[in-house]
Amino acid sequence: MISKTSGILDIPLQDNESDMLQILSFENALNEFIRKTSTPISIALQGEWGSGKTSFMNRLNFEICKSSQATSYGIWLNTWHYALLKNKDSIFEEVILALINEVLTISKKEYPDKFKTIAKDIYNVGKNIFKGISKIAVKTAISQVNSDLADAVDETVFTEKSQASYSLSDLKDKLSDLISQLMQRNLENGKNQKSIVFFIDDLDRIEPALAVNILELLKNIFDIKHCIFVLAIDYEVVVKGLKNKFGELNSKNEREFRSFFDKIIQLPFQMPMASYNIEDYINELLLSVEYITENEAQNNSFRQSLVRFTNLSVGTNPRSIKRLINTLSFVNLLIRSKSKIEKTEINLSSNYKQIIFALTSLQTAFPEVFNLLTDNPNIENWNYEFARKKNIELTQQNEQNTILWEQILYSFCNQKEYLKRNSYNITSIIKEMQIIAEENHQKLHQILPETVELLSVTNVKQEKQKPKLEINEIRVLYALNQRLQGAIKNKLVEPLQFVERKGRMIAKITYKFDNNKKNNTVNLSVFIKHNNIYLQIGTSIELFALTPTHAQAWKYIEEKGKAEVFNQIAADFISLEMRYKQIKQANTTRNGLVVKNDQLELEQNFQIVTENTEYLYSDTVIDELSSFIIDYMLLIYKINQIEWKAK
């Protein structure tokens, strides 16, 4: 039974907590390696931030050091906590002091009779190393763990009786002696612990140069028998930390970087993110926040769709997946809240859930792209004006692509290396959203604006509110007609006889092309939606009389044996759209079927979306719009010639 929650905690797995990513085989292999390995040895857990290194270490720590089959003592150190110290110069001393204190604490717990003597000896040797820390700071830190040890510090570090100078090798020898005696006594007393495993976490969260210095210090002091280090450190962090020493990584000095890493690390272990079972992981998390139903969880096609969106965006990084799920949970609750307030029942379809998931994936992995959508969510209606506004330069290579929004997105991604590397994934996500929308007989731009608005409250970047657009529709139509009617007239072809404006120009412009033919007009209207200006072009085509309701319209088409003919019409409208970069379908042809007064009609509308009315009057738009209207009417006349009566 999956417990329900509204949010997923971003905390590492603890001890033997169930691992939903199912990488037990990797864990078992490393577990056995650590139990059987010769010492000293250092193991690097490599992986991007949020890849699950801490969870992996926690489980290793439990199995090797805490369980009934424990064969080692475990010491855990979070370097991030020490990096937060105000006095950065004391970090190294604090880290080493903490590790030594843990070793001494283990020794005292196991064999109290040996503790005081060894503690005094080690701290006497460590006098020079810890001299940078004030007496109060050291004693406060130590006393929090062990009062006896604090007394030992008083008697050694802060006495001036001995002026002997010691080196790191002296401290290393003393620690080696202590740990060897500890393990020898364990052997004599039949205890299983034969080593100390040091788990050093969050090295990838601190300054790379500092992380490298800590690694060097640990190597110099603790590279001794019976000691195993498991370090959360990536090779890339080491490279960044060595820049001051070797310069920028290149083909000539790459060996120096690698040699340093190999000197510190004997076993590099890459977190097996490619092997993470994210399908079950995502499924369980989505069920826990009640974003999906049990039926959807069992739907393989639905599950695979979500996995693909995840792989194309955040990948298999557990931290990013949790953030993604939390956003989905909030949006789901927001939709439910609106439903209650507005007293309307809102049931999210599986298709719409997939689109929300895809858009949230974009927001999580590629916030710059989501911000672009926030600025104009009508992606299928992106035009040259929008590209200029966003300072996106379309290259000649882009121009070969016939889909304008893809050209704009490709050029936008090329401005940043990270987006450039992922431009295929980003485009794929949007194309798959289009397919999902079309499966529901909708255009993506009909769904995206409301969805982007929902997600905007969880966006990292605070976008400035655009001023509310206001226009005088009559003036816009009047100015448009002054330039457009003449342009259409100059492009007339047979069978179009003439063009004249019909009726009053209040809510729309109506152009008539023939006195004798049926369905011989096209309408243009302008309105504000989603704070954008929409110019809509279309007409209503009478097909045949019927009696059923709108919901049965397509079924009626099929019953009359006209499904294949209708699908060809839909294909012709798509072909028409492809010829014009700035004019897009406002609705799918199937959704254009409407019933009016027992008459089945087809309303196929196209649109131009802009933020500026002046753009509608530009030479480029007038030229394209006038040509489009001619081609649109030729297609309407072609549809008029079809015999719609039943066979």
Outline where 526-585 has alpha helix (H).
553-559, 563-578
Q: Measure the CA–CA gap between 394 and 10, rounded to whole angstroms.
A: 41
Q: Are 79 and 127 in contact (CB under 8 A)?
A: no
Question: What pLDDT is recorded for position 137?
Answer: 39
Examine residue 495 and say whether the peptide bond preceding it is cis (omega within 30 degrees of 0).
yes
pLDDT digit string, tens, across residues 444-466:
988 888 888 888 776 666 555 56
Question: Helix, strand, coil shares of the chain as percentages rounded to 5?
Answer: 55, 10, 30
Cα–Cα distance for residue pair 503/416, rounded to 1 Å: 52
Whether residue 158 has pLDDT greater than 50: no
Q: What is the DSSP letter of 206?
A: S
> Using an 8 Å Cβ cutoff, are 328 and 310 in contact?
no
- Is there a contact between 638 and 621 (Cβ–Cβ < 8 Å)? no
Q: Is the pLDDT of residue 647 over 60?
A: no
Mean pLDDT of 127-155: 45
> What pLDDT does 460 receive?
60
Q: What are the helix (H) ranges across 223-253?
A: 235-241, 243-246
Residue 16 has pLDDT above 70, yes or no: no
Coil, strand, or helix at residue 521?
strand
Closest alpha carbon to 620 in 635, 610, 605, 632: 610
Residue 156 confidence (pLDDT) above 60: no
Whether residue 136 has pLDDT greater than 90: no
Note the pLDDT of residue 133: 40
pLDDT digits (tens, 9 = 90+) for 18-55: 555 667 788 888 889 999 999 899 888 888 777 788 88
Phi/psi for 8 (5° steps) reads -100, 125
Hey, is 286 helix, strand or coil? helix
- Mapped onto helix, strand or coil, the DSSP state of residue 319 is helix
Average pLDDT over the chain, rounded to an integer: 82
* Per-domain boundaries in the chain: 24-270, 277-458, 473-640
Q: Which of 426, 628, 449 is nearest to 531 (CA)?
A: 449
| Residue 578: both structure tokens together | 């492809």
Q: What is the pLDDT of residue 99?
A: 86
* Residue 89 confidence (pLDDT): 63
pLDDT digits (tens, 9 = 90+) for 469-505: 888 999 999 999 999 999 999 999 999 989 999 988 8
pLDDT for 178-220, tens place per residue? Answer: 899 889 988 999 999 999 999 988 888 888 888 888 888 888 8
| Residue 153: per-residue pLDDT | 43
Mean pLDDT across 550-572: 83
Strand partners, 42: 229
Q: Which residue from 520, 598, 518 is spatially nearest to 556, judged by alpha carbons?
A: 598
What's the rounded Cα separation, in Å, for the pair 366 and 379?
16
CA–CA distance, 383 with 444 (Å, rounded to integer) = 16
Sign of the CA dihedral 395, 398, 402, 407? negative
Report yes or no: 44 and 263 within 8 Å, Cβ to Cβ.
Answer: no
- CA gap 197, 64 in Å, rounded: 9
11 band by pLDDT with thresholds 50, 70 and 90? very low
Mean pLDDT calculated for residue range 550-574 = 84
- Residues comprising the chain, all counted: 647
pLDDT tens, position by position, 603-613? 999 999 998 89
Question: Cα–Cα distances in Å, from 223 out to 41, 170, 176, 212, 266?
Answer: 8, 13, 9, 16, 12
Average pLDDT over residues 64-83: 88
Closest CA to 536 of 629, 631, 407, 402: 629
Token readout for 494 is: 């047979």
Helix (H, G, I), strand (E, B) or coil at 538: strand
CB atoms within 10 A of CB 612: 13
pLDDT greater than 80 at residue 325: yes
- The pLDDT, as a whole number, for residue 489 is 95
- Strands 195-201, 227-232: parallel, antiparallel or unpaired by DSSP? parallel
Does pLDDT of 331 surpass 90?
no
**Spatial CA neighbour of 472 closest among 528, 511, 523:** 528
For the domain spanning 473-640, the CATH number is: 3.30.1460
Distance, in Å, from the CA atom of 446 to the CA atom of 254, rounded to the nearest integer, reads 52
Strand, coil or helix: 397: helix
Closest CA to 644 of 594, 603, 602, 585: 602
How would you class 488 by CB atoms within 10 Å of its CB: exposed for 0-12, middle for 13-18, buried for 19 or more?
A: buried
Q: What is the pLDDT of residues 220-267, one digit of tens each?
A: 888 899 999 998 887 787 888 888 777 887 877 788 888 888 888 888
**Distance between start and end Cα atoms, the chain:** 57
Is the backbone of residue 598 left (phi > 0), alpha (psi -120 to 50) or beta?
Answer: left
**Per-residue confidence at 356, pLDDT binned at 50, 70, 90?**
very high
User: Is 542 in contact with 596 (CB distance < 8 Å)?
Assistant: no
Name residues whose C-beta falls within 8 Å of residue 624's C-beta, 6 or more positions apart in sequence.
Answer: 580, 581, 582, 583
Burial (CB count within 10 angstroms: exposed 0-12, middle 13-18, buried 19+), residue 213 = middle
What is the pLDDT at residue 621?
Answer: 94
Say how far apart CA 233 and CA 79 lie, in whole Å.
11
Beta carbons of 93 and 130 less than 8 angstroms apart: yes
Q: What per-residue string of b and e applies to 475-485 under the rule 16 or more CB within 10 Å gives b?
A: ebbeebeebbb
Per-residue pLDDT, 585: 93
| Maximum distance among all Cα pairs of the chain, rounded to whole angstroms | 117
Q: What is the pLDDT of residue 257?
A: 83
Q: What is the pLDDT of residue 144?
A: 38
CA angle 186, 189, 193 (to 5 degrees): 30
Looking at residue 590, the DSSP 8-state letter turns out to be G
Cα gap 126→131, rounded to integer Å: 9
Q: What pLDDT band is residue 127 in, cutting at 50, 70 and 90?
A: low
Give residue-wise pLDDT tens across range 273-289: 666 778 888 888 899 88
